Amino acid sequence: MSAVIENHHDDHHHGPDKGLMRWVLTTNHKDIGTLYLWFSFMMFLVGGCMALVIRAELFQPGLQLVVPEFFNQMTTMHGLIMVFGAVMPAFVGLANWLVPMMIGAPDMALPRMNNYSFWILPFAFGMLLSTLFMEGGAPNFGWTFYAPLSTEYAPPSVTFFIFAVHLMGISSIMGSINVIVTILNLRAPGMRLMDMPLFVWTWLITAYLLIAVMPVLAGVVTMMLMDIHFGTAFFNAGGGGDPVLFQHVFWFFGHPEVYIMILPAFGIVSAIIPTFARKKLFGYDSMVYATASIAFLSFIVWAHHMFTVGMPIAGELYFMYATMLIAVPTGVKVFNWVATMWQGSMTFETPMLFAIAFVILFTIGGLSGLMLAIVPADFQYHDTYFVVAHFHYVLVPGSIFSIMAAAYYWLPKWTGNMYDETLGKTHFWLSFVGVNVTFFPQHFIGLAGMPRRYPDYALQFADWNMVSSVGAFLFGFSQLLFLFIVIKCIRGGKQATDEVWDGAEGLEWTVESPAPYHTFSTPPALPERSLA
C-alpha cells in the first residue's frame, strides 16, 4: 500500500468518502462503474421478472394468469428495460471501470458529467416503471413503439415513456462523449490507437454509434410527442404524414442500436479468449477493421426490419444484399476467435466458458439473422417466434453472456478476491442449458407460424412453448446464483494476485488487486509491445 501512496504528490485524500453521499457525489470512474453495474443488474432482474410473467402465461395455451392488456405491457416493458436498462448500462459500467485502467488514464476525461450520466438513469427508469401503476397502464405497443399504435392508440402514460426515453438518451450520449474524449486524449504516452486493447477499440466505435443514433431516437420520440400533444401530423396520414416514415426513422436508430449492444461484447471476448488460450489474439488489425466495417454497415441496412411494409423490389434487394454483407466482417471475427484458441493451452475457468458459449451461440443467432435477411423467406418469418429466437440468441447468450464473462474475468481485480470457481461453473452450466432450452424451441414454433406478442396460441404450439417456459424459469432463477457468487466474492475469498490470470495481458493487470481507488495518477511506462 505504501508504494501507492508515495506516488501521489497532491494534497487530496486518497480513499473514497464515507457513507451514502460517496455514491451520490462521486466522480470516481470505479465508483461510477460499480453504480452502473449494480443498476443494470437490478434492471436485469426487473426485466427478467417481466419475461417470466410472459413465459408463465405462455406455459399453456389459453389465458391463465394475466389479461391480454397486461401481457402487452409486459412484452413492451421487458424489451425496453432489457435494452436500455440492463444491457446498455452494463456496458457503460464496464467501460467506466476498464477503459481508464486499460489505457493508463487516472480517470474518465469528464468526471462530473460521468456522475450526471449515471444519476439520470434511476430517474428515467423510475419514470418508465411508474407507468405500470397509472390509469390506462404502461406502454403496450411493443418496444419498437410503431406509430400510430404509440400515438393515436397509445395509453395516456405514453408521455412518461417519451420523457423517459429522452432521459436515457441524454445519459447515453453524455456517457459516450465521455468515453470518446477519454480514449482520444488520455492514453498513456506512447500508446497509439492500434496499440489499444480491443475492448477499448470496440467501445470507441460503439460510442461513435451512440452519439450518431441516440439523437435520432430523441428526434423520433419528439415527433411522437408533437403528434400526440401539439397537433402535428408526422405519422398521421390524415394530416399529410406517414406511419411508414416512423418505421424508417426508428430503424435508422434501431439497427445501429443492436450493434451498440454487441460490439463491446466482441471486445470482451477478444480479451478473455487470448488469456485462457495463452496465445496472442489472432488478427488484431483485422478485428479492428471488422468492427469498424460492421459499424459502418449498420447505418445502411435498417429497412431489413420492415421488408413487409411494401417497399419497391429494388429497395428490398439492396437491403437484402447489404445485410448479408455484414456476415463477412462478423465471420472474420468468429474465425479470429477460433484461430486464437487453435493449438492454445486452454483452460476452462468460468469467464472462458462464457466466452466460448458466446462464440458458438452468437454464431447461431447470426445465422438465423442471415435467414431473416432473405427477403422471400422473411415474408414467412416476419413477426413470428423465429424472430424472437433470433434476437434473443444474439442478445442473451450474446451480450448478456459477454457481460457475465466480463464480470467473472475482472471481478478479482475489482474486489481483490477470487470468486468461487465451482459455483461460477455451476452458474454457467445452468445458464447455458437454460438459455438453449428457452430459445431453441422458439425457432421451431416460429417456423411453424406462431406470431410474436400474443398472450395465447393455437394448440399445435403447446409442447414447445411448455419446454421454452421451463427453460426460462431455469435461466431466470440461476441468475440469483450469480448474485450470490458476486456478493460472496465481494465479502471475501481467496486473495487474488495482481495479475489474477496466468496469461492476462494489459495495463489493468499491472495495478494491485483490488484496484486502488486512484490508479495511474502518473501515466505508466508501457511494457514493450505487449498490449495488443
Partner 1 sequence: MTIQTSKSKTTLKLFGVVLGMFVFGFALVPLYDIYCQVTGANGKTGGAYVASEAFEVDEERQVTVQFLTNNNANMPWEFRPTVRSMQVKPGQMYDTTFFASNIARTTMTAQAIPSVAPFHAAEYFHKTECFCFEQQQLASGEVIDMPLRFIIDPHLPASVKTLTLSYTLFDITDIAATGAAE
**Residues forming the active site:** 78, 107, 143, 171-172, 255, 257, 259, 270, 304-305, 330, 333, 452
**Which residue, 278, 372, 385, 294, is CA-closest to 54?**
385
Q: Is 232 in the site for partner 1 (CB under 8 A)?
A: yes
| Closer residue to partner 1 in complex, CB, 84/419 | 84
| Closer residue to partner 1 in complex, CB, 216/470 | 216
Q: Say how many residues make up the chain.
A: 532
Look up cell 395509453; give the residue.
155
| Closer residue to partner 1 in complex, CB, 15/238 | 238
| Closer residue to partner 1 in complex, CB, 184/328 | 184
**Which residue, 299, 162, 321, is CA-closest to 227?**
162
- Calpha distance 521→8 (Å, rounded): 7
To the nearest whole angstrom, how small is the minimum distance from the Cβ of residue 85 to partner 1? 22
Question: What does the per-residue mask of binding to partner 1 show for 242-261, with x meaning CB under 8 A?
Answer: x-xx--xx--x---------
Torsion region of 338: left, alpha or beta (phi above 0 gives left; psi -120 to 50 gives alpha): alpha
Which range, of 4-12, 214-222, 272-280, 413-421, touches partner 1 by CB under 8 A? Answer: 214-222
- Calpha distance 136→115 (Å, rounded): 35
Question: What does the per-residue mask of binding to partner 1 show for 146-185, with x meaning CB under 8 A?
Answer: ------x--------------------x---x--xx--xx
| Closer residue to partner 1 in complex, CB, 50/210 | 210
Q: Which amino acid is at 527?
A: P
Q: Kindly state the cell numbers that stand for 168.
A: 436515457
CB atoms within 10 A of CB 218: 18
Restricting to residues 448-467, name those near partner 1 by CB under 8 A.
none
Residue 16 DSSP symbol: P
CB atoms within 10 A of CB 1: 8
Helices 29-57 and 462-491 meet at what angle, rounded to 10?
150
Q: Is 10 in the site for partner 1 (CB under 8 A)?
A: no
Site size for partner 1, by CB under 8 A?
42
Q: Out of 83, 109, 147, 277, point to the residue binding partner 1 (CB under 8 A).
A: 109
Restricting to residues 298-337, name those near partner 1 by CB under 8 A.
310-313, 315
Torsion region of 12: left, alpha or beta (phi above 0 gives left; psi -120 to 50 gives alpha): beta
Q: Out of 212, 334, 448, 467, point to the residue binding partner 1 (CB under 8 A).
A: 212
| Contact positions vs partner 1 (CB under 8 A) | 109-110, 152, 173, 177, 180-181, 184-186, 211-220, 223, 230-234, 236-240, 242, 244-245, 248-249, 252, 310-313, 315
